[in-house]
Amino acid sequence: MALTTLLHLVASIGVLGCICHYIIQKIHFRAKYKFPNPVPGLPIVGNMLQVPKEDSRMYFAKLAKQYGEMYTLKLGTNRWVFLNSSRVVNDIMEKRASIYVSRQNLPMAGDIVSGGNRLLFLPHNELWKRERKIMHETLGPASKDRFAPSQDIETRTLLHDYLTRPEQWHHSHSRYSSSVIMNVVFGRRTKLGDKTVNDVVDLQEHFLKLLEPGASFIDAFPILMKTPIPQSWQPWRWWGDTEYRRTKKVFEIEMDRLLQHEKNGTASDCWMSQLIRSGKDKEFTRDQLLFMAGTLIEAGTDTTRISLNQLAAGSALFPDWIERARKELDAVCGSNAERLPVPEDAPSLPLIRAAAKESLRWNPSLGEIAHSLTQDDSYEGYHFPAGTNVTWNHWAIAMDPNEYPEPERFYPDRFLNEDLDKPTKGHFGFGVGEFAPYQGGYTSGRRVCAGYVVANRNLFLSISRLVYCFDFLPVEGHPIPVGKPFSTRIMNAPFQIKIRVRSPAHEALIRRECTSAAFD
Mark the binding-site residues for heme, compressed into ranges.
449
304 and 173 Cβ atoms separated by less than 8 Å = yes
Distance CA 82, CA 171 (A): 34
Rounded CA-CA distance 305/298 in Å is: 11
Q: How far is CA 147 from CA 101, 179, 262, 485, in A?
A: 28, 11, 21, 30
Report the alpha-carbon distance of residue 316 to residue 325 in Å, rounded: 14
Where does residue 408 rank: exposed (0-12), middle (13-18), buried (19+ CB within 10 A)? Answer: middle
Amino acid letter for position 29: F
Amino acid at 217: F
- Report the alpha-carbon distance of residue 296 to residue 274 in Å, rounded: 15
SS (H, E, C) 264-284: HCCCCCCHHHHHHHHCHHHHC
Binding residue numbers: 449
Quote the distance between the C-alpha of residue 262 and its chain's center: 31
Looking at residue 69, what DSSP letter applies?
S
| DSSP H or E run through 8 | helix 2-32
